[in-house]
Amino acid sequence: MKNIWAICKKEIKTYFTSPIAYVVITVFLVLIGFFFYSLIWWFNSQSLQMAQNQYYYQQLNINQMVYSPLFHNMSIILLLMIPLLTMRLFSEEKKRQTDELLFTSPISVNQIILGKYFASLFVLLVMLFLTGILSIFVFSYGNPELAPILSGYLGLFLVGAAFLAVGIFFSSLTENQIVSAILTFGVLLLFWILNWASYSAGGMWKSVLNYLSFFQHFDDMTRGILDTTDVVYYLSFIFLGLFLTYSVIQSRRWR
């Protein structure tokens, strides 16, 4: 545990002494702010229109009309940003040959991977935490339900964590950071598109594609539905990503 923490601490420091974390977080927040603004603006105008009709007015739901689409937007922006967070984790070590220090120190490969992974999770948490500012506004001027927001955030965290696990895997494959980012981006995009393909597919394929897609599992959570299968899906994805990373690193050393 101590070793994981040593690696993690160093990686977090690296994130925040280089511009990467700041740039990624800032761009993420600016985009989310813009989405939030337009969603709130739209919700506002809907409210004004519906104000005459008591029945429709009752139907307005800020959770469904603002938060649910906002969470979806956030997940897409995460898809674009996370490859940039993970690309350097192992690629850079290999390129600079600093991996020689890590692998000749009395710490295990597992500890190195987990330390790096937790550091990237920390940056993800910071990103998500900072978007909480938006909710302060919503709660001070409206009365949304808290539970679906929390489950939405949990969903976002799981999605992001799965993205990071994919990213760290591709980072272990190549010493070129750009290649690592592009591969991560491509695979994440593919899993996103699987969702669309499932609309046109039929029978068993439909359910298989549906199950594999990142976003199907996420959709429920943005609406406040917490299903263990969804959580298990993400956790197994994370496990697979980290396990593959471990295999790549071990096989490289044995070749």
Partner 1 sequence: MIEVENLTKKYGDLVAVKNLSFKVEKGKIWGLLGPNAAGKTTTMRILTGYLPATDGKASVADYDVFEKPNDVKKITGYLPENVPLYPEMTVHSYLNFVAEIKQIPAPQRKEAVEKSVEISGLETVRRRLIKNISRGFKQRVGIAQALIHNPQVLVLDEPTIGLDPAQIIEIRQLIKSLKGKRTILLSTHILAEVTQTCDGVVIINEGNLMASGSLEELTASFKEKEGIVIRLKKGGKSIISLLQKILGVDKVSAVGDEFKIEWTKGKDVRDDITKLIVDKELGLIEMRPLAMNIEDLYLKVISGGVEQ
The contact set with partner 1 (CB under 8 A) reads 2-3, 6-7, 10, 13-14, 17-18, 96-107, 253-255
Decide: helix, strand or coil at residue 236.
Answer: helix
| 195-219 burial: b if 16+ Cβ within 10 Å, else e | beebeeeeeeeeeebbebbbbbbbb
DSSP 34-47: HHHHHHHHHHHHHH
Look up residue 145 and give its DSSP letter: -
> Minimal distance in Å, beta carbon 25 to partner 1?
18
Rounded to the nearest 10°, the torsion over CA 254, 84, 242, 224 is -170
Residue that has been written with the tokens 């689409």 in this structure: 69
> Minimal distance in Å, beta carbon 112 to partner 1?
9
> Minimal distance in Å, beta carbon 99 to partner 1?
8
Residue whose CB is less far from partner 1, 91 or 222: 91
If one counts every other C-beta atom within 10 angstroms of the C-beta of residue 180, the result is 26
Residue whose CB is less far from partner 1, 56 or 253: 253
Cα–Cα distance, 62 to 39 (Å, whole number): 10
Residue whose CB is less far from partner 1, 95 or 223: 95
Residue whose CB is less far from partner 1, 12 or 62: 12
> Minimal distance in Å, beta carbon 120 to partner 1?
17
- Residue 11 · residue 89 · CB < 8 Å: yes
How far separated are the first and last CA of the chain, in Å rounded? 29
Residue whose CB is less far from partner 1, 103 or 118: 103
> Minimal distance in Å, beta carbon 88 to partner 1?
11
> Minimal distance in Å, beta carbon 247 to partner 1?
15
Residue whose CB is less far from partner 1, 75 or 86: 86
Rounded to the nearest 10°, the torsion over CA 218, 75, 94, 172 is 20
Encoded tokens for 47? 């409210």
Residue whose CB is less far from partner 1, 1 or 204: 1
- Residue 159 · residue 60 · CB < 8 Å: no
Cα–Cα distance, 71 to 47 (Å, whole number): 21
> Minimal distance in Å, beta carbon 115 to partner 1?
9
